[in-house]
Amino acid sequence: MQRRRFLSSSIAASSAWAAAGGELLKAQSNPAREYYELRCYKMQSGEQPRAADKYFAEALIPALNRQGLNTIGAFDLYLGPETPSVYLLIPAASLETLVHSEILLARDDEYLKAAEPFDAAPAKQPAFARVESSLLIAFEGYRKLTVPPATAKKEPRVFQMRTYESPSQRDHRRKVQMFNSGEFDIFEKAGFWNVFFGDTLIGSRQPNLTYMLSFPDLAELDAKWKAFGSNPDWKKLTDDPKFAFESIVSNITNYILHPKSYSQI
């Protein structure tokens, strides 16, 4: 019920943006841009993470796949605040698909049977501590999620998820514009695997954006960021006064994530 209220509020928000001629109106007129629900399940050490893994792998993700919600990412938080936590990334071609997802789960007998142990956990032994959820829309310049090549080959991979907060909506728009002005290509030239770039529509600590990169292992992280920073295209981009980093980004949250064995990303 709480999630339905959250997603319903996103529809109301989208209507308000449309009336104001905002960014979401442009996005809705262009269905090629994906939406993302980013969930964080906060847990306590012990039985909760094991029970959650079984629920995600055998109940939730298969049910979402049956709805046509494919390429679901599932990640353990390796470096970052509040561990243990599990992040789910759910991409969708439309906002309506995300809104109706919970309704369809309630009608899915196969899901309900598989989810019973998780859903029926008593209050004194809850299945998780809290769930936080955000709604994002893909950037104009990077409209769809990209699965790293290592995923299909079932090779090792690590993910870095970064959230950039801005001091104002104007500065936030400038940072999004900066990404759309060539920053995606610079990441690729540095050797990163781009995964997604999303503008937060509903969520905490706004205005902000979140993006995800991937690479084979942590040993390569510093080298790839060094290559990114030394790219002449990056220097050219940062020399533009309207993209002065200190002015348009006020805080960065940085997470290192490991994919679950059942992750589809």
Examine residue 124 and state whether it is found in any structural domain, yes or no.
Answer: yes
> 128 and 239 share a domain?
no
Examine residue 178 and state whether it is found in any structural domain, yes or no.
Answer: yes
* Mean of pLDDT values over 245-256: 91
Examine residue 129 and state whether it is found in any structural domain, yes or no.
Answer: yes
Q: What is the pLDDT of residues 184-215, one digit of tens each?
A: 999 999 999 999 999 999 999 999 999 999 99
> 182 and 103 share a domain?
no
Examine residue 247 and state whether it is found in any structural domain, yes or no.
Answer: yes
> 6 and 131 share a domain?
yes
Examine residue 119 and state whether it is found in any structural domain, yes or no.
Answer: yes
Examine residue 264 and state whether it is found in any structural domain, yes or no.
Answer: no
**Cβ neighbourhood burial of 130 (10 Å; 0-12, 13-18, 19+):** exposed
Q: What is the pLDDT of residues 63-103, one digit of tens each?
A: 999 999 999 999 999 998 889 999 999 999 999 999 899 99
Look up the domain containing 190 and give its range. Answer: 142-259
Helix (H, G, I), strand (E, B) or coil at 30: coil
Q: Which residue has the higher pLDDT, 22 or 167?
A: 167
**Cβ neighbourhood burial of 134 (10 Å; 0-12, 13-18, 19+):** buried
Query: Which runs of consecutive H residues, i.e. helices, occur in 59-139?
Result: 61-66, 95-106, 109-119
> 49 and 92 share a domain?
yes
Residue whose tokens read 């995300």: 98
Q: What is the pLDDT of residues 19-42, one digit of tens each?
A: 334 444 554 455 589 999 999 999
> 183 and 243 share a domain?
yes
Examine residue 94 and state whether it is found in any structural domain, yes or no.
Answer: yes
Indicate the number of domains in the chain: 2
> 177 and 107 share a domain?
no
How far apart CA 131 and CA 128 sit, in angstroms, is: 8
> 25 and 125 share a domain?
yes
pLDDT for 13 equals: 47
How far apart CA 135 and CA 91 sit, in angstroms, is: 10
> 25 and 123 share a domain?
yes
Examine residue 57 and state whether it is found in any structural domain, yes or no.
Answer: yes
Judged by phi (left if over 0) then psi (alpha if -120 to 50, else beta), residue 82 lies in: left
> 51 and 133 share a domain?
yes
> 71 and 161 share a domain?
no
Rg, C-alpha atoms of the chain? 19
Give the CATH number, domain containing residue 247: 3.30.70.100
